[in-house]
Structure 1
Amino acid sequence: MDLRQLEYFVAVAEEANFTRAADRVHITQSGVSAQIRQFERELGADLFDRSARMVRLTPAGAAALPHARAALAAAQAIRHACDEVNGLVRGRLKLGMITGCNVTPLFDALATFHRRYPRIEIALAEDNSDVLVESVRAGACDIALVGSAGGPPDGLRSLTILSEGLVAAVPPEHPLAEHESVPLRRLSAYPLICLPVGTGIRSVLDQACTAAGMRPAVALQATAPGAVADLAARGLGVAILSASMAADHDGLRAVPIEGVEIPALLALVWRKEENTVLRALLPHCRHAFGLA
């Protein structure tokens, strides 16, 4: 008796058909039949009644089936346990990331993770934060780097990377550049350049404006913070960014915005049900972001 025979036995029992079972286990129908016959000889009992068009379990087969399933599950559990102990994690990591977000520590984490677990395939998808959060909830992404307003998304585990306020980023010659801060209401006098709806920064701005009873005058929007900053540097409007985003652009003056109580968060989010691959990745992320 071996695991292959148990697998074929369970397949035939569940499909009630030798041909469909053969397709399921990817061998010929004659190969499945031969292995089942050998298994029956070893057990000294017929497992299937083959007299009708549909293959049926005999009483001996029905008694054996739950034990066969348990043996296959135990074998799989042994493999998973040994993989984790030996660090031989296999699988696929599906990672989501905000479009145009260049977060070096995340790339560092992926690099060290790949060196430690070279057998794991890494897939990367970019989108806005709202879409990424739903992808994580649906299981399409294992983990995602997202922006959010005020706090991490409900129902998910999270690791907050940054929590900071909004700034108005303007060229040195702009009227706002000489101020230490700017009231939110004063921004209504200028065309704004923002990230699109569905991003954390935009959610913070929209919520703050709603709370203040005003509507932001968004003239332009771009999916990448760098593009928002470049448009502002050319005098096309006031860029609304987080403090760290604005700090990446030497040609702009970052002026804190008064009256925005909601922080802009950058966070890694994942479902509560952690798989083996995700558990292996998280320590690398915490270390890379200095949160270990």
Structure 2
Amino acid sequence: MDIRQLRYFVAVAQEANFTRAAELMHISQPGISAQIRQLENDLGATLLDRSGRTVVPTAVGEVALAHAHSVLSSMEALRRAVDEMNGLVRGRLVVGMVTACTVQPLFDALSSFHLAHPGVEISLVEDGSATLAEYVRAGSVDLALIGAARQAPEDLDGWPVISEPIVAAVPVGHPLAETDGITLAELMAHPLICLPEGTGVRATLDQAAAARGLTPAVALQASAPAAVVNLAERGLGVAVLSATMAAPHTGLRTVAITDADVPAVLALIAAQVKSPALRELLRHCRQSFGGSPTPAGAVPASSAGA
């Protein structure tokens, strides 16, 4: 029995699936299965029930899982204590990014951190904002750049990078193209194109509409802001985007949504407990983003509020 096997066991129990756990731990599915079977052989007990559609701990597995969490926490505490005493930063960090992320300050921070601390392995994960927040809560992602409505999740440490309104974007010649602003109720009269649920822009639209008793009927959705823009440019509906997403596209006219008072926020989030490596990466992030909670112009149009 070794620490690696305990990590694999915890990952499978957390994901309830060998394949997802293998992807999370960067190992093949047969490899993680073999390691956990070896752990079960060493302990002389079956830890996971594999008979159903999802993998769940057995009664013995539940007891073992609690001890595995305790052992891994103790190992991490030992590593942090030694690192802090020696003034070293090493280990592994998993950084999450919203899908189709092109936020240059984040890339700059990762680059400067890597140059300063080449001994720290950095892994990148792309997903929707809501999923990334769950990964941070579970501890499988250390730091994530997410989109949110109004503010970052309150149960996580969050640092807003930018806060801006959502807008409507239509091609030239559209009935809304010559208006200075529209209400949410007026917006709902048109087919909408938006990012999917789990993104900051979509959450912003849904919350602003719900506050006025409205339910958006999204006709088309795409996971990348550029795809939303392309669909709107072809006249397939009214795009709902953050202001910087829509601003640089000459084929679209941006129209203010006058009563959408829930801002789209792009934020860095991290768990409450931070390793020395994570604290150092956060320092690089603050420097890269200009040291301000909402640095003007720090986020390119293609990603703000995703």
Q: Which runs of 5+ in 1 are unaligned?
A: 1-22, 25-71
- Corresponding position: 1:93 with 2:93: yes
- Corresponding position: 1:81 with 2:75: no
Q: What's the secondary structure of 1:186's corresponding residue?
A: helix
The residue aligned with 1:143 is 143
* Superposition deviation, residue 83 in structure 1: 4.3
Aligned residues: 220
Contact 1:101 1:225 in 2 (8 A): no
Contact 2:164 2:264 in 1 (8 A): yes
The residue aligned with 1:125 is 125
Query: How far, CA to CA, are the matches of 2:288 and 2:136 in structure 1?
Result: 22
One-letter amino acid of the counterpart of residue 156, structure 1: L
Q: What's the secondary structure of 2:112's corresponding residue?
A: helix
Going from structure 1 to structure 2, the CA distance change for 1:75 and 1:124 (only over 3 Å counts) comes to closer
Q: What's the secondary structure of 2:281's corresponding residue?
A: helix
Q: What's the secondary structure of 2:229's corresponding residue?
A: helix
* Superposition deviation, residue 212 in structure 1: 1.5
- Corresponding position: 1:270 with 2:270: yes
* Superposition deviation, residue 241 in structure 1: 0.4
Going from structure 1 to structure 2, the CA distance change for 1:168 and 1:157 (only over 3 Å counts) comes to same
Going from structure 1 to structure 2, the CA distance change for 1:195 and 1:77 (only over 3 Å counts) comes to closer
* Superposition deviation, residue 164 in structure 1: 0.8
CA RMSD of aligned residues (A): 2.3
Q: How many percent of aligned residue pairs carry the same amino acid? A: 53
Deviates more, 1:265-274 or 1:253-262: 253-262
Going from structure 1 to structure 2, the CA distance change for 1:83 and 1:239 (only over 3 Å counts) comes to farther
Going from structure 1 to structure 2, the CA distance change for 1:91 and 1:255 (only over 3 Å counts) comes to same
One-letter amino acid of the counterpart of residue 195, structure 1: L
* Superposition deviation, residue 132 in structure 1: 0.6
* Superposition deviation, residue 226 in structure 1: 1.0
One-letter amino acid of the counterpart of residue 116, structure 1: A
One-letter amino acid of the counterpart of residue 176, structure 2: L
Query: How far, CA to CA, are the matches of 2:214 and 2:273 in structure 1?
Result: 41
Normalization by structure 1: what TM-score?
Answer: 0.71
* Superposition deviation, residue 249 in structure 1: 2.4
Q: Which runs of 5+ in 2 are unaligned?
A: 1-37, 40-74, 293-306
Question: Cα deviations across residues 176-223 of structure 1 (Å, max 9, x unaligned)?
Answer: 111121111111221100100111111111111122122212110000
Greater percentage in helix: 1
- Corresponding position: 1:252 with 2:252: yes
Q: What's the secondary structure of 1:204's corresponding residue?
A: helix
The residue aligned with 2:195 is 195
Q: Which runs of 4+ in 1 moved over 3 A?
A: 72-79
Contact 2:167 2:243 in 1 (8 A): yes
Deviates more, 1:223-232 or 1:243-252: 243-252
